[in-house]
Amino acid sequence: MTTVLVLILSVVLLLAIGGCACVYWTARGDAPRWARGVAKTTEVASELVLRANTKSRTGNNGDD
């Protein structure tokens, strides 16, 4: 079970690093179309995570 979890987390980490590399490559201006697509997907995913995090914080009334 632990091996599977480590494998899944490793894949997620590699995808995140690859997405960040594509964002950087696109920002430089010389990225191919597929890298621009990966960069856009990475930016949209990060925006969704930020919104979900903001909603969870605003929904918390401090009644912990």
Domain positions in the chain: 18-54
Q: Measured between alpha carbons, how far is 40 from 25 in angstroms, rounded to an integer?
A: 12
Confidence at residue 57, expressed as pLDDT on a 0 to 100 scale: 76
Question: Does position 18 have pLDDT exceeding 60, yes or no?
Answer: yes
Q: pTM for this one?
A: 0.72
Other beta carbons within 10 angstroms of residue 43's beta carbon come to 14
Average pLDDT of the chain, as a whole number? 89
Confidence at residue 23, expressed as pLDDT on a 0 to 100 scale: 95
Q: Which helix (H) or strand (E) holds 32?
A: none
Q: Measured between alpha carbons, how far is 44 from 10 in angstroms, rounded to an integer?
A: 21
Confidence band for 6, pLDDT divided at 50, 70 and 90: very high
Q: Which two tokens stand for residue 12?
A: 């997620």
Confidence at residue 30, expressed as pLDDT on a 0 to 100 scale: 92
